[in-house]
């Protein structure tokens, strides 16, 4: 019996009714665009978080994790901002949000096994939320996994758990990726209307690999920097008289920028508007099989995030510069920034050499050893 089911049996004295799982993600491009009503292009990772679960007769949630030595018990009706605290907020918050959305949910016994690297900017929290949401949908007969609309409802509940219970003011990209991304495809996500398009993404046909490097530099989305970027975008949109920065036509960007009162707001706006435009340029380049152009756009995105949005850091820049110096077609930070992971587009034959060069550059700079691994586009939340 797998360790997850074994632990469940030992903890709850019964076998789980099922096991559900959901993936982490890397975003190919479209960073800090989701809360601006913009476009993003994530893929689901092969790394998944599993959730073994059974329904209870009461309104208690009993939550245990293979990775944490803690066992948390909370009543669904007691879940509120900051309660429970820590990682269990992502589990309890999902049940809370589904109940708020009008779905009849009760208590659950839950054991989770998180295989998405923690704190690496690869959306381990969204993977956890979405694995629990998938379990709840099936166990309470909600049927929300069966359609794209239903999956969007689950993704929205997961985002609400993160925003309102865990207190991280994130957009919805990570949860949408975990619910909608499919194998061998990138997900073009329109964050204004929630529309999704599957874009074929199979680098092996080009003898290329997507190398992810977890810099292991700490990042925390709940800290002030992410929220400060969001606030700047809302302020700029307000001054420009639009609902979202998405509404600024890239061709009219210069006219918009002169209306903004300071350089910080101008740079934040320039990043968002140019980054949204780069998403469809990458989609077109992928469809044309022009991977050199994809690499060029990755680099433009990184420069914009580093210089205009100011969310990169020494470690992320070092991965990008080293990978490119070693012949990568392009590289960029991925996710919220301030640490976390970077991605590089690398010839399959060069993966080990580029990974070793990144490790050597970190050692020379006396930084914590990074972890590099190549990934392919995997599938969405599902029952195992
Ligand atoms: C984090 C957030 C996402 C998104 C990215 C930046 O991953 O959770 O909502 O804003 O940062 O693109």
CATH at 354: 3.30.70.890
- Percent share of the chain, pLDDT over 70: 99
Band of the pLDDT at 220, cuts 50, 70, 90?
low
- Are 207 and 182 contained in the same domain? no
Predicted pLDDT at 71: 87
**CA 280 to centroid of ligand 1, rounded, Å:** 18
Indicate whether 381 belongs to any domain: no
pTM for this model (two decimals): 0.97
Span 107-138, pLDDT tens digits: 999 999 999 999 899 999 999 999 999 999 99
Indicate whether 308 belongs to any domain: yes
Indicate whether 382 belongs to any domain: no
Predicted pLDDT at 112: 97
Residue 174 known to be catalytic: yes
| Residue 230 pLDDT exceeds 70 | yes
Indicate whether 383 belongs to any domain: no
- Percent share of the chain, pLDDT over 90: 96
Beta-strand relationship, 60-65 and 108-114: parallel
- Are 102 and 13 contained in the same domain? yes
User: What average pLDDT score do residues 196-217 get?
Assistant: 97
Predicted pLDDT at 351: 98
Average pLDDT, the chain: 96
Q: Rounded distance, CA 31 to CA 36, Å?
A: 10
| Residue 255 pLDDT exceeds 70 | yes
User: What average pLDDT score do residues 141-145 get?
Assistant: 98
Indicate whether 148 belongs to any domain: yes
Q: Which residue has the higher pLDDT, 218 or 223?
A: 218
Atom of ligand 1 nearest to the CA of 32: 12
| Residue 345 pLDDT exceeds 60 | yes
| Residue 272 pLDDT exceeds 60 | yes
Span 297-323, pLDDT tens digits: 999 999 999 999 999 999 999 999 999
User: What average pLDDT score do residues 29-38 get?
Assistant: 98
Span 60-71, pLDDT tens digits: 999 999 998 778
Which residues form the pocket of ligand 1, taking CB atoms under 6 Å from any ligand atom?
A: 27, 31-32, 34-35, 170-171, 173-174, 221, 335-336
- Are 222 and 368 contained in the same domain? yes
- Are 166 and 249 contained in the same domain? no
CB neighbours of 79 closer than 8 A, spacing ≥ 6? Answer: 92, 93, 95, 96, 165
CB neighbours of 233 closer than 8 A, spacing ≥ 6? Answer: 32, 35, 36, 245, 268, 269, 272
- Are 155 and 194 contained in the same domain? yes
Q: At what angle do helices 124-139 and 88-100 cross, to 10 degrees?
A: 50
User: What average pLDDT score do residues 7-26 get?
Assistant: 97
- Are 7 and 77 contained in the same domain? yes
- Are 329 and 191 contained in the same domain? no
Which of 170, 338, 343 gets mutated to test ligand 1 (max ligand atoms within 8 A of its CB)?
Answer: 170
- Are 235 and 194 contained in the same domain? no
| Residue 221 pLDDT exceeds 60 | no
Catalytic residue among 174, 214, 308, 350: 174
Indicate whether 355 belongs to any domain: yes
200, 235, 257: which is the final residue of a domain?
A: 200
Indicate whether 380 belongs to any domain: no
Which of 31, 44, 158, 171 gets mutated to test ligand 1 (max ligand atoms within 8 A of its CB)?
Answer: 171
Nearest CA owner, ligand 1 atom 1 = 336
Extended beta strands in 16-138, E state: 18-27, 39-40, 42-55, 60-65, 71-75, 108-114
Predicted pLDDT at 219: 67
Using only C-alpha atoms, the chain has a radius of gyration, in whole angstroms, of 21
Domain holding 63: CATH number? 3.30.230.10
Q: Rounded distance, CA 358 to CA 337, Å?
A: 18
Beta-strand relationship, 341-347 and 382-383: unpaired
**What's the number of domains the chain is made of?**
2
200, 215, 234: which is the final residue of a domain?
A: 200
Indicate whether 94 belongs to any domain: yes
| Residue 222 pLDDT exceeds 60 | no
User: What average pLDDT score do residues 341-350 get?
Assistant: 98
- Are 12 and 146 contained in the same domain? yes
- Are 279 and 338 contained in the same domain? yes
**Domain hosting residue 362, numbered range:** 203-375
Q: Are 330 and 175 in contact (CB under 8 A)?
A: no
- Are 175 and 288 contained in the same domain? no
153, 177, 200: which is the final residue of a domain?
A: 200
- Are 251 and 170 contained in the same domain? no
């Amino acid at each position: 019996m797998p360790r997850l089911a074994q632990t469940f049996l030992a903890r709850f004295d019964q076998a789980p009714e099922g096991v559900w799982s959901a993936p982490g993600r890397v975003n190919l491009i479209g960073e800090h665009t989701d809360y601006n009503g913009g476009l993003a292009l994530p893929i689901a990772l092969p790394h998944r978080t599993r959730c073994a679960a059974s329904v209870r007769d009461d309104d208690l949630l009993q939550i245990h994790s293979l990775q944490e030595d803690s066992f948390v018990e909370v009543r669904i009706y007691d879940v509120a901002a900051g309660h429970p605290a820590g990682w269990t907020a992502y589990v309890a918050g999902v049940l809370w949000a589904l109940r708020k959305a009008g779905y009849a949910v009760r208590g659950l016994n839950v054991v989770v096994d998180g295989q998405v690297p923690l704190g690496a900017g690869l959306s381990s929290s969204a993977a956890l939320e979405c694995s629990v949401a998938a379990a709840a949908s099936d166990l309470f007969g909600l049927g929300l996994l069966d359609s794209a609309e239903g999956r969007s409802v689950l993704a929205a509940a997961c985002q609400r758990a993160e925003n309102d219970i865990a207190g991280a003011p994130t957009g919805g990209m990570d949860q949408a990726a975990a619910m909608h991304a499919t194998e061998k495809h990138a997900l073009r996500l329109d964050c204004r209307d929630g529309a999704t398009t599957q874009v074929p993404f199979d680098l092996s046909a080009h003898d290329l690999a997507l190398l992810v490097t977890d810099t292991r530099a700490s990042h925390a989305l709940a800290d002030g920097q992410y929220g400060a970027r969001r606030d700047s975008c809302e302020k700029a949109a307000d001054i420009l008289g639009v609902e979202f920065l998405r509404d600024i036509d890239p061709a009219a960007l210069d006219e918009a920028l002169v209306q903004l009162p300071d350089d910080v707001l101008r740079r934040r706006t320039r990043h968002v508007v140019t980054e949204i435009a780069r998403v469809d340029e990458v989609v077109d380049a992928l469809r044309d099989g022009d991977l050199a152009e994809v690499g060029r756009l990755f680099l433009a995105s990184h420069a914009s995030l580093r210089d205009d949005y100011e969310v990169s850091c020494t470690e992320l820049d070092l991965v990008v510069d080293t990978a490119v110096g070693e012949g990568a077609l392009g590289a960029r930070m991925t996710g919220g920034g301030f640490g976390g992971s970077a991605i590089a587009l690398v010839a399959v034959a060069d993966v080990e050499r580029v990974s070793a060069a990144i490790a050597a550059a970190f050692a020379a700079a006396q930084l914590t050893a990074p972890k590099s691994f190549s990934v392919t586009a995997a599938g969405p939340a599902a029952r195992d």
